[in-house]
Structure 1
Amino acid sequence: MKSVDSITPFIDLFWQQCEATPDRVAVVQDDCSWTYRELLSQSCHVADSLRTAGVQPGERVGVCVDRSPIAIASMLGIHLAGAAFVPLDPEYPAERLRFMLDDAKIKTLIGHARYRSLFDANDSTTSSTNSGATLKWVDASDLIRDGISPSFPVRENYFKLTGEQLAYVMYTSGSTGNPKGVLINHAALTTYCEADMEVYRLHADDRTLQFSTLTFDIAIEEIFPPLLCGSCVVVRPLERANSANELSHLIDTLQITAVHLATAYWHQWVDLMVATDSQVPSSLRLMVVTGEKVSVDHYQRWQTICDHDVLWCNAYGPTEATVTATVFVPEADFSAANMPIGKPLPGYSAAIFDKDLNEVAVGETGQLFIGGPALADGYLNRPELTQAAFIERKDSDGETQRWYRTGDIARWMDDGNIDFGGRVDHQIKLGSYRIEPGEIEAALTSISEVKEALVTAETLDGQTTLLAHIGLGADALSANSIDKEASNELTATAAKIAKQLREKLPPYMVPTRFVFVEHFPKTINGKIDRENLPDSSHAVVAREESLVAPQSELQKQLCEIWSSVLQVPQIGIDDDFFLLGGSSLLVTQVVARLKNQLGLELPVRDFFANPTIELAARHIQAMLGDESKTADEATAAIQSQRDRLPVMEAFFLPSGSHDLFAVHYSPPSRQTRRNRAVVLCHAYGHEYARSYRNLQQLAVHLAQQGFDVLRFDYAGTGNSHGNALEASPHVMMKNIRDVSNWMRQRHELDSVSLIGIRLGATLAACSAATGIDQQLLWDPVVCGETFLQSLDELHSETLSNEMRFARPRQSSSIDQAYGTRLNHVIRRQLSQLKLNLSDSQDDPATTLLLSRDYVVPGIDAPQSLINGSVIQMDDEIGWDRPELNESAFSSPGAIRHITKLLVDESDAGCAIEVQS
C-alpha cells in the first residue's frame, strides 16, 4: 500500500493534464466554455488573488458559490495557493454558516455578492466571525479573467503541495448538536480520483453532468476525476428546463455521457421515465447511483427502459473514506432481493469485524470498516470523535493498519461482494444525507417550548421522512390528550417549532411531522423507552395556515396526489408543498402521478413556480383550457382609426451573431415623411416592462409626426433570439450601433436620433454609434453598480412581500436581479458602467429629460452631469419605489417634450412628400 507522502497531489496531476490537452474543453455551463488552458489560467488567477488577499499556505478558505465554472476554478485555485477549501451552502441558516466559519477558522471567503448578507458583513470588505477574527470577502465575479495570457502558467510559481496536506473540509451532520468537519488530504483525493477513473472507465470523450450541490461529496465525484482524463464537466444550467422530465432533457440536449445521482433521486427519475413512457437517454454510458440502499425493483424497471449499453454502478462510501469506497456492477438479469454494495475500489480495503474487532466469516454479520490511503485525517476540532471512529489494528502479519468505523452492518457474500445491512446506531439516511438525530434534537431543545425531543426516521410507501417526538410538559398539554385528534393549537405549535428550526438547520433536517407528549416514557435505567412512544398516527403536520378544503374536482385530485406523496393525511389548497416536507425528489413523483392519472405532462419548473394546490390547479387549468380561444375580437378596429395609425412592420434585424426583434413604424400614408429616423433604446429588466407601453405610445406618436421610428429588443431579451445571459452591456451597445446603421442605410439618411430610457439611455450615450446628431436621455442610469444594488434590493423586497405572496419567498440559486437573469459577465460589465457625457465638438447634441422624482445618489444637481440642456418634467415615475415597480406608467410630459425637440430639429431640414 502506498504511503501518503508518496502519492502525487491532485493539483499536480491536473496541471499535467492541462499541459497534455490544453485546447480540449474542460468545463461548460450555458454559454460559458473553458478549455483546460483557460481553466488553469482562471485557477491561477484565483490563486494570485488569494495570495494578494493574504491567504497563507495551510489556511482554510470558504467557498459559498453556486454550481458554476468559477466554483471549479476557485477550488483548484485554493489548492494552487496552498490552502484547503471549505464548501458552504447558501441555503444553510446563517447561524449554521457562522458556526462553520468559526469552527474552520476561515479568514477568507469566496462568494457570490448576493450571499454576502449571510455572513454579517459590517462594511464593504470584511465581516466578523464568532471568534472575533476578521473575514475577508472575495467576490467570485471579480475572479473571472476577461482573457488568458498567451504564455502557459509556470507550476513553480505556485505552492508545492504534499500528499499529507489538507485538500478540503466537508461538513456533515454531527451527533453533538453541531455539524462536524471531515478532513480530506491530497493523497486521499488522488487515491479516490484514480480509483474512480479505473472503475468507471472514464475517457477523454466523456461529458459528466455536475448536478449536485458543492456541499455534498457527489460534487467531488462529478468534478475532480473527469479533469484528470481530459474530459468535459458540464455544469447544470442556471435556468430550469421547461420539461416534465428535466434530467432526461438535460442529458439529451447537453449530450451527457456520465451521471452520478443520489439513490433517492435516481429512484424518482426511473419512476418519471416509466410514467412518461420515455427511454434512458441514448448519450448516457455511465450511471452511478450512491447514497443509500438501492431498490432492486427500480433497477429492474431501469432495465426495461434502457435499450443500449450503460455501465450501471451501485456505489457506497462515507465522506470519511473520500466519496466512494465500494462499487457493485450487477448483471443485466440481476434479481436478488438485496442490491450488494460491491467490492473495494483500487487502493481501498474493506473489513467486517465483530464487536471485539475480529474478522467475521463469510456470511456472518458484523460492522463494516474501510481502510487505505483515501481515509480522512479525522474530524476538525473533534479529537474524541476521531479517536472513536478511526482505529488502528494489527493484521495477521503484525502490521498496523488504520481503519474507519462506518457504523454500518454488513456481511461478506460468497462471490466477494459486500451485502449492506443497515445502521448500527440511530443515524438516519435521508436521501443521500447522513443525519445525526442528535443535531436536530439539540436544535429542538434550544427552543423554549420544547422540554424533550427525539427524532426518528419514518418510512411510508418507500418514502423516508423525519418524525419528531416532542415533550412539552404537563402544562402545555393539559387541554390536549395525545389520544385525541391533533388540534389546531398543536398544529400551530408544530408550525412555530418548524419555523424556528429552519433558522438553525438546513431544510432537509427539519421534520415535517410532530408527535406531542407531556413527557417521554422512560426505561428502568432512565433512558427513553422508544418502544412505548406514541406512533406516527398521532402526528400533526407543521402547517402554518389553517386548512382550506379543496373546492373543484381538479383541486381534490391534486390534494389526493400530494397526500399520498407527502404522507400527510389532509392537504389544504393553501398548503405549500415544500413547507409540508416536499423536496425536488418528491416533485418528480408528483409530476409522474399527474402523467399517470391526468395524462398531463407538467414541467418540473412550473411546479416550483406554483407550490400550492390553488396555484397548481389554476396553472393546470390554464394549460388545458385556454388553447381554443381566438383573438378576433381583440384585433378588430374601426377603419377610420386605422387610417391614423402608422404602418408597422415586425422583423428580425441582424447584429453580429444575433437576430434582434424589431418593429418599424412608418408614417401613415397621408402624413408627410420627415428626413429623420428615430431609434428607441429600451430599459432593462423590470424597467423594460414598466416603460414598454410608454415607448410604444411614443413610437406611434412620432410616426404620426412624420418620423421613421424603430423599436428593438436587445440580444437575448424580449423576442430577440438567444437568452438573457447573452445580453451583456457590450453586446447591447453593439446592438444600438448596428440598428442605427441599419436605419440610416435603409432610408438613405445622413443621421439618426437616439432616444434612450434608463439603462437604454446610458447604453446609447456609451455606444459611440456613428451618424447620430441628437440623443435624448430619459432618466439615465449614471452608475451601473448603484443600479445593480437597486435591482437586487427590489428583488429581495418583492420575494419577501407578504402582500404579494402568502409567505416570503426564498431566492433561487439562479443569479438574478428584479426582472432579469444575470451571470458574472453581465454583473461585472454593469457594475463598471458609467454615464460619461463628454463635451467634444464631435459628440451629438444631448438633452437630459428628468422625471420629477429622478435622483442620482451622490449627485446633488443632475444638471452637473451635462453641459447641454436639461428638461425637468412634472411626471413622477418612481423607478426605485417598490409599490410601483410592476406598474406601467404614462408620461405625456415626456412625449410632449421629445416631440417638440425632434420636430424643431427636423424643421431645419427638408421634408419629403410620401408618394401614394
Structure 2
Amino acid sequence: MRDLPATTTLSHPISLRIREIVRDAGPAVAIESGGMSLSYADLDARAAALAGALAVRGVTPGATVAVGLPRSAEQIVALLAVWYAGAAYLPLDPAWPEARLESFVERAGCAAVIAPRGSGLGTVAPDDRGDFVEVAAGDLAYVIFTSGSTGEPKAVEVGHDNLAALVDWHLDAFAVGAGTRSAHLAGLGFDAAAWEVWPTLAAGGTLCLADDAVRLDPVALRDWLVRERIDVAFAPTALAEPLVTMDWPADARLRVLLTGADKLTVRPRPGQPFVFVNNYGPTECTVVATSGVVAAEGSALPSIGTAISGTTIHLLDPGGDDVMRGAPGEVYIGGAQVARGYRGDPALTEARFVSHPKYGRLYRTGDLALRLEDGDYAFLGRVDGQVKVRGHRIEPAEVAAALNRLPEIAASHVLVRDGDLVAYVTLNGEATAGALRAALGEILPDYMVPAHFARLDAMPLTANGKIDVRALPDPASVAMAESTGARAPATPTELRLFEIVSDVLGHRDFGVDDDFFLLGGHSLLGTQVIIRARDAFGIDLSLFHLFEAATVAKLAEVVETLIFAKIEAMSDADIERLSA
C-alpha cells in the first residue's frame, strides 16, 4: 500500500485529500512544468484564491464551471479551484473550434468559464479573499463530453465518489504514494487526463507535465520519461506501441507504463525495465473498468485484462441474459465507478444506464468482448458502429451529421478503413477535399475530420434502402482532389519532401502549400515523415518542426536552414572529406 498522510481516508473526495496533504506536507512538490515547480501549499493557495473569484462571480455549490486553459500548472489550479468553490468542472480543449466550445458551455449550463483572455469564452481573475467549500462524495466532480451515437456529443456526469473509486484502485494497484513521479500527457478534453492528474495529487506525488513537442513524438517522449525520472506514465495506444518496442536504458526509473484508448496490437520487447499494462473503460465508467499486465510472450492479441477492484463486468446477450461460457457478449459494467448519466438527456440515460434484475445498476457499453479461459477479456469491437481513431472515441454518425449540414453535401457516409476515417460523399455542385476539411474544422476537433474524402455519383443502397457498405469502392479510386491549382514542388528539397509525404499519406493529391494535418496526417504518420527526412537529409529534424511548419514548403525551409547550419559548423577538414 502507498504512503499517505495518516488522516487520509479512502473514498474521500480528492479536494479534501489534497487539503490534508497541504496540512501535513505543504512544501512537497505537486507539479513540475517547463522548469517550474509548484508546491502543494502554492497549489492550494492559488486554487483558493481563484475559488474566491468564482464565488464573487456567482458560482455556487453544485454549479458547473468550464475550464478551457492550455495544458499547464494553471490549468490544474483552475480545476482544483472549481472543486474548492463546490462546483463541478467541464474540461474543454482550447484547440477545438470556438463554435464547438461555445456549444458545450451552453449545453452544460456553465455558470462561469475559465479561459485565456481573448479566447471569446471569458476569463476569471483570482480573488485574494480565497474560498473553500467541502464537497461531499455524492456531489458531481466533472462533466465531460464524449461522442454520441445520435450525431450529437453526450455530456457525461461523473461524481466525486466515482472518481475516488478510480483513485483508490490506482494508488493500490500501482503503488503510488508520496514522492511518486507521474507523467501528465493527455489533453484536458480526454478523460485519461483525470486518471493522470488526480491519483498523483491525492497521494502527495509529483505530477510532471510534458510539452507538446515531447508528448507527440515517441522517441522524444521516451527520452523525456528517462530524463525526468518518471515512475508511472500513461500513453494512448498509438504512442505506447512504439514505446514498448524501443530500446530503453536498463536503469530507467519508469516502472509502470499504462495504455488504453484503442485496440492494442503489440507486446512489449522482452527485458523492458517497466511493466506494461493494458486498460479498457468508457468515459461513462470513469476511465478504467478492466486492466491487465501485457506479457512479452504470446501470439494472440493482448487482452484488456480483468475487472478492476470495485467494478464488475458482465457479458450479456441481446435479451439481457448471461452468454454461454466461451461466447461473445455485450459488455455491461457495474460498480462504484459507473457515472450518474448524461446531462440533459434522461431518455438516453435510461437507455444506457440500465437496471438489471440480477446485477443491479449497469452501464451498457455497446462493446463486444469474450471471456478467455484465464479469466481475462478479449475486446472484439463495437455493437453500434462507434469506433476509435488515434485513441479518440468517434461516432461516425456525428461526423456525417456535421458533413450533411454543409451546403456542398447532398449525402454522406462515414466509416473507418485501415485505421483512418473516410467520408464518402455526393455533392451539390463542386467542392474539394481541402474545402470540406476546412469547413469541418470550424465545427469539429481535428481528430474527427476525415483523412480521406471519396466522391460518388450516388450512394449504393441495399434492397431495403440502407447504404450498402460492402458496395462502397476503395476510397483511393474515387478520391476527391485536395485543392484546385495545388502548387507543385519548385526546389529539390520540396520535391524530396513531397515524395516522402505522399508516400506516407498514400496519395499525391495535394500541393506543397497544403497542411499535412488537414490531409489526414497525424502524429504517428508525422513520425514516419520525420524519420525518412532525417535519413534523406542527414539532419536532426524533430516532429515539433513538422507541427510548426505543417506544409511541405515551410518544412523545406526548415530543412535547408538546418543543412546550412550544419555546413557552417563544419571544419575545413570535414568539408574536404565530404567532397572527396
TM-score of the aligned structures, taking structure 1 as reference length? 0.58
- Contact 2:432 2:482 (C-alpha < 8 Å) held by counterparts: no
2:230, 2:253 within 8 Å by CA — same for their partners in 1?
Answer: yes
Q: What does 1:749-760 correspond to in 2, within 5 Å?
A: none
Alignment RMSD, CA only? Answer: 2.7
In structure 2, C-alpha distance between the alignment counterparts of 1:597 and 1:238, rounded to whole Å: 25
Give the counterpart letter for 2:260 in structure 1: T
Deviation at 1:422, TM superposition (A): 1.0
- 1:193 to 1:244, Cα distance in 2 relative to 1, 3 A: closer
The equivalent position to 2:517 in structure 1, one of 578, 602, 612, is: 578
Provide the rounded CA distance (Å) in 2 between the counterparts of 1:385 and 1:570: 42
Matches within 5 A, 1:617-628: 617-628=556-567
From 407, 413, 425, the equivalent of 1:470 is 425
Counterpart for residue 260 of structure 1: 234
Partner of 1:456: 415
Distance 1:254 1:521 in 2: 54
What's the offset of the Cα at 1:434? Answer: 0.6
- Structure 1 40/244 Cα, relative in aligned 2: closer, same or farther at 3 Å? closer
2:130 paired with 1:161: no
CA contact (8 A) 1:362 1:414 kept: no
Aligned pair partner of 2:168 in 191, 194, 206: 194
Structure 2 partner of 1:303 = 270
> In the alignment, is residue 447 of structure 1 matched against residue 406 of structure 2?
yes
User: Match for residue 32 of structure 1?
Assistant: 36
CA separation in 2, counterparts of 1:608 and 1:97?
Answer: 23
| 2:367 pairs with one of 385, 405, 408 | 408
Secondary structure at 1:451's aligned position in 2?
A: strand
Structure 2 gap ranges (5+):
1-9, 572-580
Q: 1:270 to 1:614 in 2, by over 3 A?
A: farther
Percent identity (aligned): 32
For the residue of structure 1 that corresponds to 2:421, the secondary structure is strand
- Secondary structure of 2:349 counterpart: helix
Compared CA separation, residues 443 and 23, structure 1 to 2 (3 A)? same
Pairwise CA distance, 1:549: 3.8
Q: Secondary structure of the residue that 2:287 maps to in structure 1?
A: coil
Which one of the candidate residues 290, 293, 303 is aligned to 2:260?
290
CA 239–114 in structure 1, closer or farther in 2 if over 3 Å, else same: farther
Q: CA deviation at 1:427?
A: 0.9
Structure 1 contact 207–256 (Cα < 8 Å) conserved: yes
The match for 1:527 among 453, 466, 476 is 466
For the residues of structure 2 that align with 1:284 and 1:546, how far apart are their CA atoms?
50
Q: Cα 1:345–1:525, aligned 2, differ >3 Å: closer, same or farther?
A: same
Change over 3 Å in CA distance of 1:243–1:365 after alignment to 2: closer
Letter in 1 for 2:280: Y
CA distance in 1, matches of 2:145, 2:215: 30
Q: CA distance change for structure 1 residues 608 and 280 in 2, over 3 Å: closer, same or farther?
A: farther
Alignment of 1:222-371 (within 5 A): 222-237=196-211, 245-269=219-243, 273=246, 279=249, 282-296=252-266, 299-300=267-268, 302-303=269-270, 306=272, 308=273, 310-331=274-295, 333-371=296-334
In the aligned structure 2, how far is the partner of 1:209 from the partner of 1:390? 32
Which of 329, 339, 342 is the matching residue for 1:379?
342
Asked whether the equivalents of residues 591 and 601 of structure 1 are also in contact (C-alpha less than 8 Å), the reply is: no
- The match for 1:744 is none
What residue in structure 2 maps to residue 178 of structure 1?
152
Q: Distance in 1 between matches of 2:260 and 2:235?
A: 6
Q: Give SS of 1:193's match.
A: helix
Aligned to 1:559: 498
Q: Does 1:217 align with 2:191?
A: yes
Is 1:80 aligned with 2:50? no
Q: Is the 8 A contact 1:513 1:539 kept in 2?
A: no
1:440 CA displacement: 1.0
SS in 1 for 2:123: strand
2:52–2:127 contact (8 Å) kept in structure 1: no
Matched, 1:420 2:379: yes
Name the CA shift for 1:567/1:227 in 2 (closer, same or farther; >3 Å): same
Aligned residue number for residue 115 of structure 2 = 111
1:67 aligns with 2:22: no
Assess if the C-alpha contact under 8 Å between 1:543 and 1:579 holds in 2.
Answer: no
Aligned 8 A contact 1:243 1:249 in 2: no
**Distance between the aligned counterparts of 1:371 and 1:408, measured in 2?**
14
Structure 1 CA distance, aligned partners of 2:213 and 2:127?
A: 21
Structure 1 partner of 2:4: none
User: 1:627–1:90: structure 2 CA closer, same or farther, 3 Å change rule?
Assistant: closer
Check 1:287–1:383 CA distance in 2 against 1; reply closer, same or farther (3 A cut).
Answer: same
Match of 1:900 in 2: none
TM-fit CA distance, 1:413:
0.9
If the length of structure 2 is used for normalisation, what is the TM-score? 0.90
Identify unmatched segments of 5+ residues in structure 1. 1-5, 120-136, 477-488, 633-916
> Is 1:204 matched with 2:178?
yes
Q: Tell me if structure 2 keeps the 8 A contact 1:262–1:289.
A: yes
Q: Which residue of 2 aligns with 1:58?
A: 62
- Offset at residue 18 of structure 1 (A): 2.5
Q: Distance in 1 between matches of 2:144 and 2:321?
A: 31
How many positions carry a matched residue from both structures? 562
1:314 to partner: Cα distance: 0.5
Q: 1:794 is matched with which residue? A: none
In 2, distance between residues paired with 1:469 and 1:585?
A: 24
Q: What letter matches 1:448 in structure 2?
A: P
Preserved contact between residue 451 and residue 521 of structure 2 (Cα < 8 Å): no
CA shift in 2, pair 1:628/1:159, >3 Å: closer
Letter in 1 for 2:74: I
**Residues 232-279 of structure 1, C-alpha deviation per residue, up to 9 Å, x if partnerless?**
0012247769999321332233222221111012234457x46xxx65
Deviation at 1:547, TM superposition (A): 3.6
Structure 2 CA distance for aligned equivalents of residues 422 and 629 of structure 1: 54
Letter in 1 for 2:262: E
Counterparts of 1:198 and 1:14, CA distance in 2: 17
Shift of residue 573, structure 1, vs aligned partner: 2.7
Contact 1:545 1:575 (8 Å CA) reproduced? no
**Cα separation, 1, equivalents of 2:323 and 2:206:** 43
Aligned 1:634-673 pairs, distance under 5 A: none
User: Which residue matches 1:603?
Assistant: 542
CA contact (8 A) 2:216 2:523 kept: no
Moved over 6 A (4+): 238-244
Aligned mates of 1:175, 1:241 — CA distance in 2: 30
Deviation string 1:561-586 (CA, Å, 9 cap, x unpaired) is 32233233445333321121222333
- In structure 2, C-alpha distance between the alignment counterparts of 1:143 and 1:257, rounded to whole Å: 33
Cα separation, 1, equivalents of 2:457 and 2:531: 41
Q: Residues 860-875 of structure 1: matches in 2 within 5 Å?
A: none
Partner residue, 1:588: 527
8 Å CA contact retained: 1:208, 1:234: yes
* Aligned positions of 1:668-679 closer than 5 A: none
For residue 138 of structure 1, the aligned residue among 94, 98, 123 is: 123
Mark the structure with the bigger radius of gyration. Answer: 1
Q: Distance in 1 between matches of 2:209 and 2:365?
A: 31
Provide the C-alpha distance between the structure 2 equivalents of 1:528 and 1:244, rounded to a whole number of angstroms: 39
Distance 1:595 1:364 in 2: 49
Label 1:38 to 1:238 Cα distance change in 2 as closer, same or farther (>3 A): farther
Partner Cα separation in structure 1 for residue 213 and residue 456 of structure 2: 45
2:214–2:221 contact (8 Å) kept in structure 1: no
Q: What residue is the counterpart of 1:746 in the other structure?
A: none
Q: Deviations over 1:683-740 (max 9, x none)?
A: xxxxxxxxxxxxxxxxxxxxxxxxxxxxxxxxxxxxxxxxxxxxxxxxxxxxxxxxxx
